[in-house]
Structure 1
Amino acid sequence: MWKKDTWVKPYLKQYKFLLVTVLFLGVCTIFCGAALMFTSGYTIDKSATHPFNILLIYPAILLTRAFGIGRPVFKYVERLRSHNWVLKVTSKLQTRLYKTVETDAAFFTEKYRTGNLLGLLAEDINHLQNLYLRTVFPTVVGVLLAIVVTLGLGYFDWWFAFITAMLLLIEILVVPLLSTAIEAGRRQKQKTYKDQLYTQLTDNILGVNDWILAGNQQQFQDNVQQKVQLLNQSKLHSNHFRWCRDFLLQVVLAGIFITLMFFASYRLTGSVEQANYTAAFVLAVSPVGEAILPISQGFEEYPLYKDSIQRLNDLQPTVQDLPKQAHLDPQQFQNLKINNLQFEYDADSPVLIKDFQQNLHRGQKLALIGPSGTGKTTLLQLVNGDLQPQKGSVTLNDINVRTLRDEQRNLFSFLNQQPFLFNTSIMNNVRLGNPHKSDEEVKQALKAVHLQELIESLPDGYETNVTEAGARFSGGEQQRIALARILLQDAPIVLLDEPTVGLDPITENELLNTIFTVLKDKTIVWVTHHLQGINHVDQVIFLNHGKIEMQGNPKQLYQDNQHFQELYKMDQGL
């Protein structure tokens, strides 16, 4: 895994000097702590022998003050530098993850279940952050400290140094490895439970209205509660294990204290002067626990970090073989042509779009209707170049749309079933369409979609916070805010993916009238599930199994096509 790793090693190399500085500061912190206890113990013992001159203990007093100040200073600087290092690395990782996901957005939901995707985004990057803070830093500092302690004792007596080294080895290696072996399976199970909870919670929240309408609120709760109980039970077992492990570590640490007491009694009692160092040596080991006890926790979590690293390394964006990019001025756009498209997601999937063709001139409107799964939304992704067909092409002014990927934002706007509104002001949400537009232009866009009166009646007006996902506003109002964003973007082609789903008939009709009024000069490809507002388009196409089953002008079809007449009457409830 580590040989092929591209998510951890590159940043270890990039910030290696900062990492070395952090580790050095960590060792200095522990050293100051040990030295503080050493000089304190020496001062206490020396004072107890009634020195005939205060100068005999004054240097020890000064050193006690110096190490007492040095310890928090080194600790503070070490924390600043370590978090600075981690935040730099995390920022790089998050940016890279976003670019990877964004590059592969068209296929991403096909490759990952919701739970795995949310687990990837919510936890794996944080796991790598904790890898440094809770595993790398404590382990390296603890090992360095164990080496220093062993060598220091070895200067006086290699036998006691060996015994202390064995006890330290239990603390920094044996117990951590046992902890990892015992907890690895439990941690993986907890990760699985979390992924399943992400999936269940997403499904339940998105389908909450269906749960309530079906009268199955209790089942709604039970679906999640069972997994939560299993997760909590597993965490309880982990907490109990950690308590036992930490108790064992404290017992071993007490063994180190006892060993040093024997060492001090054996080697430092030959004279009164030597005896002054007895308490100093014993007390100096007390900060060791602060450095080595966290190692087991870090080792225990390593399997999670390993899984996260593996998942991230497996996350490779689909390399799109894009042709040489071209340029098309949005104002010069005149024609959208779909030429004999054929598309399937992979060799094992059925052909979703077959021999589809259409020709739209600037300002024309096309509606796509058909059963679910017939490729209507996929067709929109082919039109704007997100997907590459196995056969055929989409061209703008006879320029392949695949060569216009760099111009996509300037040429296409998109309005789907649930446009995302951010937890910020109305002005900021609309200005996303074009950050360079003035406040007055933003307000004009909101006026065009008939929101001016509503917004100006609010206490904070245009600075009103829409709250998370636009929850402050109704579904129709959310769509109007998103429509204002499209107006501000001013792209010549607008793709509509069932923007009125879930709205009541009156709101739906009003919104459709607004959409086709304010976008009257735009070329529109509209995916819809029924015939409400179909009179706004120039052409309507019925897709079935990836093929065109019926097409034509809606008014002409209503006059000449009996099947269309029946569908229209059924849709209108006539």
Structure 2
Amino acid sequence: MNFFKTFKHDTWVKPYIKQYKGLLITALILGLLTSFCAAALMFTSGYTIDKAATHPVNILLIYVPILLTRAFGIGRPVFKYIERLKSHNWVLRVTSDLRTRLYKTLESDASFFTEHHKTGDIMGLLSEDISHLQNLYLRTIFPAVISYLLTLIGSIALGVFNPSFGFFVFLLLFLEVFVVPLISVSVESARRAYQKSVKSDLYVQLTDNILGVDDWVISGRKNDFKNLTAQNITNLDTSQNKSKAFRRNRDFVLQLIFAIMIICFLIFTNLTMTHDQEQANFVAAVVLAVFPLSDAIIPVSQGFEEWPLYKDSIDRLNSIKPVPNTLPKQVELNPADFESLKINNITFEYDSNSPILIKNFSQDIHRGEKLALLGPSGIGKTTILQLILGDLRPQQGQISINGFDISQVQANREQLFSVLNQKPFLFNTTLINNVRLGNEKKSDAEVKKALERVGLKDLVESLPDKYETLVGENGSRFSGGEQERIALARILLQDAPIVLLDEPTVGLDPITENDLLETFFNVLSDKTIIWVTHHLQGIKHVDHVVFMNSDKIEMEGAPKELYQTNKHFKELYQMDQGL
């Protein structure tokens, strides 16, 4: 009941069973043929041995069984190999579609998803849940269906020969493929759920530890860092050891039931197949044919036992819903036609308890202008950039570009906006590939030109592999300032008219920061720039400064004018410059 209830409203498993049903049926048939060939191989081998022991007068009397033994001996590995190819092909097709769907679902509103889920949960979702569904097919559904079909076919075949014995064998097989698996689920369900919970906690702890490892080291608490997950790991090991002990005992019981069935076959065949020599030749054949069926029947319990893991993954995947597209009719705006970006009296807050409140904020930004948003951390400067991009929507007011609401240009947003944030991500591939991420259509010469414009040509050409240099994990091959310059080269390739700078120089030393700001504003001189910063270094490069404080604008204007007319701005500037 629990199994069918899980799949009643499922949208992640059932659709693909229907979509690839032809391949699925083929895999199941091949699985049956594999088991049939294994049993037939033992049957013909046993018959051949018994027949040969009676000293046939002519070798031709056992020639056919010999040929069949060879045929089934070849057929079993061939069918098994093809079945593996087909079943894994089916599973890989399904999981490929599932992964694509999952990433598209997360990508459709990544900010919303990360806002409502822990990073560790996301890691668990991406790393485990799809793999669990893959194992659901390979280790539970396929073996269970094949074993059920073998049970029915074998019981019916025996029932035709002897109804009473056929029913008795059916009861023994029923214990093997249904009763014991259900007991496995009931015993291991809570234990598996506990192990899943502990693993989820470990993912969360691991994420926190990796992101905060520098703080642990700086604080001198290395031993605390090492021992943080020790208790969870110990609890997980204890629970897993109990599961292993249960599996050993359960498999022993399954083997015992199977041994009882073999003994019953020995008794039955000796009672019913020993009336003459010809019948007696089939005794060993029939008994031996039963042995290979254990390979198909006994693993069913293991697959059932893992069902709680699969159920949890199915439930979690089905809880993820794509964010409905509520965008208005999209407008195709040519980047070359950009004239102005207007922020008209917007108000925004995340919720009533959030410290971030943007109230009645307005700006009119024209093509080529450079605007700086200053203020202390946590007052909503980055939130304004998210509102400009359309990732967030204001509760009141409007943001428009060339008179169109920002929500109307989301289809080609990447052609209008470039973003450079505090820590641009560099992928562990070549330098030229990382830069080309800004525009995959650009040639190698254009990528190299972009790197030259940001001042990296001499550095890159001094490296052994030059432009094919691997940047390392998260850009570790290069310094913080060099990483920002690489990201700036991406922006040059993207060639969007509006560039949003979200404190790209934070954490850099003053000399590097000043050089980097000079580079930014030189190479982006023809762009419209909205620059979020927390101090006045490089403020001379902008046309307009907006100093935010709490929920209002404290002061704004051209930097030179503010320096001459606003005492507070002059004090802040002199303090920042160390004057």
With normalisation by structure 2, the TM-score equals: 0.95
From the superposition, tell whether residues 563 and 239 of structure 1 become closer, same or farther in structure 2 (CA, over 3 Å): farther
Of 191-200 and 123-132, more deviation after overlay is shown by 191-200
Partner of 2:178: 173
2:355–2:379 Cα contact (<8 Å) kept: no
Number of equivalences: 574
Matched, 1:520 2:525: yes
> 2:271 is aligned with what amino acid?
Y
With normalisation by structure 1, the TM-score equals: 0.96
Q: Which one of the candidate residues 108, 111, 130 is aligned to 1:106?
A: 111
Matched, 1:549 2:551: no
Partner of 1:416: 421
Q: Which one of the candidate residues 203, 207, 220 is aligned to 1:202?
A: 207
- Secondary structure of the structure 2 residue equivalent to 1:2: helix
Q: For 2:561 and 2:182, how far apart are their aligned partners in 1?
A: 77
Q: For 1:191 and 1:542, how far apart are their aligned partners in 2?
A: 49
Q: For 1:141 and 1:329, how far apart are their aligned partners in 2?
A: 59
Partner of 1:435: 440
Partner of 1:396: 401
Q: Which one of the candidate residues 219, 223, 241 is aligned to 1:218?
A: 223
From the superposition, tell whether residues 373 and 177 of structure 1 become closer, same or farther in structure 2 (CA, over 3 Å): farther
Partner of 1:465: 470
Q: For 1:76 and 1:33, how far apart are their aligned partners in 2?
A: 13
CA deviation map 1:100-132 (0-9, x unaligned): 111112312111111111111111111111111
Q: Which one of the candidate residues 412, 415, 438 is aligned to 1:407?
A: 412
Of 423-432 and 492-501, more deviation after overlay is shown by 492-501
Once the two structures are TM-superposed, the CA of residue 350 in structure 1 deviates from its matched residue by: 6.5
> 1:60 is aligned with what amino acid?
P
Q: Which one of the candidate residues 52, 68, 74 is aligned to 1:47?
A: 52
Q: For 2:217 and 2:369, how far apart are their aligned partners in 1?
A: 42
From the superposition, tell whether residues 180 and 433 of structure 1 become closer, same or farther in structure 2 (CA, over 3 Å): same
Of 438-447 and 521-530, more deviation after overlay is shown by 521-530
> 1:295 is aligned with what amino acid?
V
Gaps of 5+ in 1: none
> 1:130 is aligned with what amino acid?
N
CA deviation map 1:484-510 (0-9, x unaligned): 111111011111222223322222222
- Secondary structure of the structure 1 residue equivalent to 2:526: coil
Once the two structures are TM-superposed, the CA of residue 573 in structure 1 deviates from its matched residue by: 5.0
1:342–1:351 Cα contact (<8 Å) kept: no
> 1:232 is aligned with what amino acid?
D
Q: For 2:125 and 2:443, how far apart are their aligned partners in 1?
A: 38
Once the two structures are TM-superposed, the CA of residue 144 in structure 1 deviates from its matched residue by: 0.5
Q: For 2:425 and 2:220, how far apart are their aligned partners in 1?
A: 29
Partner of 1:229: 234
Partner of 1:318: 323
Q: For 2:377 and 2:147, how far apart are their aligned partners in 1?
A: 60
Of 435-444 and 320-329, more deviation after overlay is shown by 320-329
Gaps of 5+ in 2: 1-5
Q: For 1:499 and 1:374, how far apart are their aligned partners in 2?
A: 18
Partner of 1:364: 369
Q: For 1:277 and 1:405, how far apart are their aligned partners in 2?
A: 75
Q: For 2:564 and 2:191, how far apart are their aligned partners in 1?
A: 68
2:356–2:378 Cα contact (<8 Å) kept: no
Alignment of 1:246-395 (within 5 A): 246-346=251-351, 352-395=357-400
- Secondary structure of the structure 2 residue equivalent to 1:277: helix
1:118–1:195 Cα contact (<8 Å) kept: no
Partner of 1:503: 508
Partner of 1:158: 163
Q: For 2:385 and 2:229, how far apart are their aligned partners in 1?
A: 35
Once the two structures are TM-superposed, the CA of residue 429 in structure 1 deviates from its matched residue by: 0.9
Q: For 1:45 and 1:228, how far apart are their aligned partners in 2?
A: 56
From the superposition, tell whether residues 471 and 157 of structure 1 become closer, same or farther in structure 2 (CA, over 3 Å): same
Partner of 1:537: 542
Once the two structures are TM-superposed, the CA of residue 569 in structure 1 deviates from its matched residue by: 4.2
Once the two structures are TM-superposed, the CA of residue 334 in structure 1 deviates from its matched residue by: 1.3
Once the two structures are TM-superposed, the CA of residue 511 in structure 1 deviates from its matched residue by: 1.8
> 1:234 is aligned with what amino acid?
S
Matched, 1:456 2:461: yes
Task: Indicate the percent of aligned positions where both proteins have the same amino acid.
Answer: 63
Let me know the Cα RMSD of the aligned residues. Answer: 1.7
1:385–1:405 Cα contact (<8 Å) kept: yes
> 1:193 is aligned with what amino acid?
V
